[in-house]
Amino acid sequence: MVQLTSIYHMAEAANWPAIQRNGLHSASTLLDQADIIGEDRERLEKLQRLTHTELPGGVQLRDQRPMPPAALASCLIGITPSEWYALINARVFFWLDPARLNRHRAACEARPQVVLTVDANRLVAAYAGQITVTPINTGNARRRPARRGAATFVPYETWVTSAWASEAINLGTTPRPSSHPPVELTVVGSIPDIMQFVIGVQHLAPGQPFTPA
């Protein structure tokens, strides 16, 4: 079983003041806080976001260009693309591998970013019931996308005891070896006290990669 140590969250630099004040929040929670309802809510939460979006109050949401609905329809099991977008938007995401984070950073074009290095063990101790891990990059459905569904988000406590068995059982896919490392760690909803778990902050200028300490 893979041991979790440090995990990494990359945010828009424009969101950093709000993160320090209010913590980390899923896109859906940010839409709640901005009082976005009706058709605008549907478009931002359950359809592909094709553009970078600034909400009232200045908080920014990234686009979801790597998740076209047609590509999702070809790889989803048991749910629709709109349901998948809702699952994604309900979570705060962390990378486990700095190399994957840097590939994500390259996709953020020229915008400055901030990377939070977080103590995984302390975060898990506080939020275990809200935590899932994934075996794939759930935010990308291009280039022969892996099969996925709601069971791709494996509850952390399930993963500790049975690795990826629940994913295979529920999706009807080939079981992954227990040595297969998680790609993402997600927290459903919000982490209002995220700064208690942060052990490093790195501000990235446009085009600058992340270098773990």
**159-213 tens-digit pLDDT:** 999 999 999 999 999 999 999 999 999 999 999 999 999 999 999 999 899 999 8
210 in any annotated domain: no
Confidence of residue 143 (pLDDT cuts 50, 70, 90): confident
Question: Are residues 176 and 164 in contact, defined by beta-carbon separation less than 8 angstroms?
Answer: yes
Mean pLDDT check: name the lowest of 41-50, 62-71, 100-109, 154-163: 100-109
pLDDT score recorded for residue 127:
98
Q: Does 116 reside within a domain?
A: yes
73 inside domain: yes
Residue 145 domain-assigned (yes or no): yes
In one-letter notation, the amino acid at residue 137 is N
Using DSSP, state whether 95 is helix, strand or coil.
strand
User: What does the alpha-carbon distance between residue 85 and residue 67 come to, in Å, rounded to a whole number?
Assistant: 9
Domain count, the chain: 1
Residue 88 lies in a domain: yes
Q: Do the beta carbons of residue 55 and residue 36 sit within 8 Å?
A: yes
Residue 17 CB neighbour total at 10 angstroms: 11
pLDDT at 1: 56
Average pLDDT over residues 141-170: 96
Is the pLDDT at 35 greater than 80, yes or no?
yes
Report yes or no on 1 lying in a domain: no
Between 75 and 2, where is the model more confident? 75
Cα gap 113→105, rounded to integer Å: 8
**What pTM does this model have?**
0.96
Indicate whether 48 pLDDT > 90: yes
Residue 67 included in any domain: yes
Q: Is pLDDT of 3 > 80?
A: no
Task: Tell whether the model's pLDDT for residue 10 goes beyond 90.
Answer: yes
Q: Please report, to the nearest 10 degrees, the dihedral formed by the alpha carbons of residues 107, 34, 19, 153 taken in order.
A: -60
In a domain? residue 211: no
Residue 36 lies in domain: 6-204
